[in-house]
Amino acid sequence: MLDSLIRFVRDQYHTDEFIPLHAPVFRGRERELVVDTIDSTFVSSVGAYVDRFEKDMAAFTASPRAVAVMNGTAALHIALKLADVVPGDLVVTQSLTFVATCNAIAYCSAEPLFVDVDRHTLGLSPTALDAWLSEHALIDDRGDCRTRVGHRRIRACLPMHTFGHPVELDALIAVCERWHLVLVEDAAESLGSYYKGRHTGNFGRIGVLSFNGNKIMTTGGGGMLLTDEVIGKRAKHLTTTAKIPHPYEFVHDEVGYNYRMPNLNAALGCAQLEQLPAFLESKRVLAERYIEFFKGSDLQPIVEPEGCHSNYWLNGVICQDGAQRDALLKSTNDAGVMTRPIWALMTRLPLYTNALRGPLDNAEWLEARVVNLPSSVLPAGA
């Protein structure tokens, strides 16, 4: 089985060299547009490509407003600030995520409250959230959700669409409404993923994308906030040093952040976005081939949840147990075909060993079994 998996992956990428988990692909106008910024001298914080990238991304995701920033973590930080997360607040999230989700909560001097994920989405479980809140929370007379013990305010809910697979948004929105939580989506992995026909990142107050080098498309480093016009304006202001527009005077009306995306990176983003539909198509072809390959085996491929259209950013399988997972990891990596276990749960990090949490059975179950497989866009003509 493992030998035929290695052979199968090598056949997809037509190479006997090392196969990474996910490598960027530059087959369009990347060079042309990046060189254009150099020729124009506008490589930094001012330039037409930033505006264009924001407009193109808003159009692609059907979002009223998109605001480009220097990375996804910075976008998450600003998104939580705009969700009115203040020091001492709790923010609900999943323990099965990349650490950036939790770092953004910490930047607000808030703390994570971890609830379980669903096995079929790998993302935050609306049922687990509702169960935890029903047992441990109340709505106070100001309308804030608070823990019964300690009266800590639970301000926001930050689900993450793992590997591009959307969480159960309809149910989650209903739970957030019932408990007065602001929904912010960590859609860093789900550019090009849709829940019931609507692009992820558009369901809460704000959604966040990442264009890090390992994501489905890259700007080198970069991120984006998806939101409405009013909050988008605030986000732009906060991420550009909170400067009041003026031809020459320096007036800043609050503590701002220098989080803007340089024009150089936005140029790369414009060129990558032109190819995103082709990338998405290639990833779907690869995912279908993996699913077909694993048919009848005891490794269970991760497939898009019902009613969703996933970008299949990272393919993965669920192993029977930890021993099978370790054997898979060892033989593939020894053969130069990179595979990787899913993240260790955030609750295992020393930072969060004392964080509030509900039962995490599904997260622990997946943590012991999920392995990611090479998922780069296929070579041209493959």
Ligand X SMILES: *Cc1c(COP(=O)(O)O)cnc(C)c1O
Interface ranges with ligand X (CB under 6 A): 71-73, 97-98, 100-101, 160, 186, 188-189, 210, 212, 223
Q: Which helix (H) or strand (E) holds 279?
A: helix 263-294
Question: What's the one-letter identity of residue 313?
Answer: W
| CB of 102 or CB of 378, closer to ligand X | 102
Rounded Cα–Cα distance for residues 335 and 16 (Å): 10
In this complex, which beta carbon is closest to ligand X, that of residue 56 or of residue 186?
A: 186
Residue 210 CB, nearest approach to ligand X (Å)? 3
In the complex, least distance from residue 148 CB atom to ligand X, rounded to whole angstroms: 30
- Whichever of 182 and 335 has its CB closer to ligand X, that residue is 182
- In the complex with ligand X, the residue whose CB is nearer, 201 or 301, is 201
Considering the complex, state which of residue 259 and residue 293 has its C-beta at the smaller distance from ligand X.
259
- Assess contact for 193 and 165: CB atoms under 8 A: yes
The smaller minimum CB distance to ligand X, of residues 137 and 342, is found at 342
Nearest distance from C-beta of residue 264 to ligand X, angstroms: 16
CB 57 within 8 A of CB 79: no
Q: How far is the CB of 75 from ligand X (least distance, A)?
A: 8
Give the shortest CB-159-to-ligand X separation in angstroms.
10
The residue number whose beta carbon is nearest to ligand X equals 72
Q: How far are the Cα atoms of 37, 111, 114, 153 from residue 354, in angstroms, in the given order?
A: 48, 10, 11, 17
User: Any idea what the Cα angle at residue 145 is, between residues 85 and 89, rounded to 5°?
Assistant: 30
Which parts of 25-90 fold into alpha helices (H)? Answer: 30-40, 48-61, 72-82
Burial (CB < 10 A; 0-12, 13-18, 19+), residue 332, is buried
Nearest approach, Cβ of 22 to ligand X (angstroms)?
Answer: 11
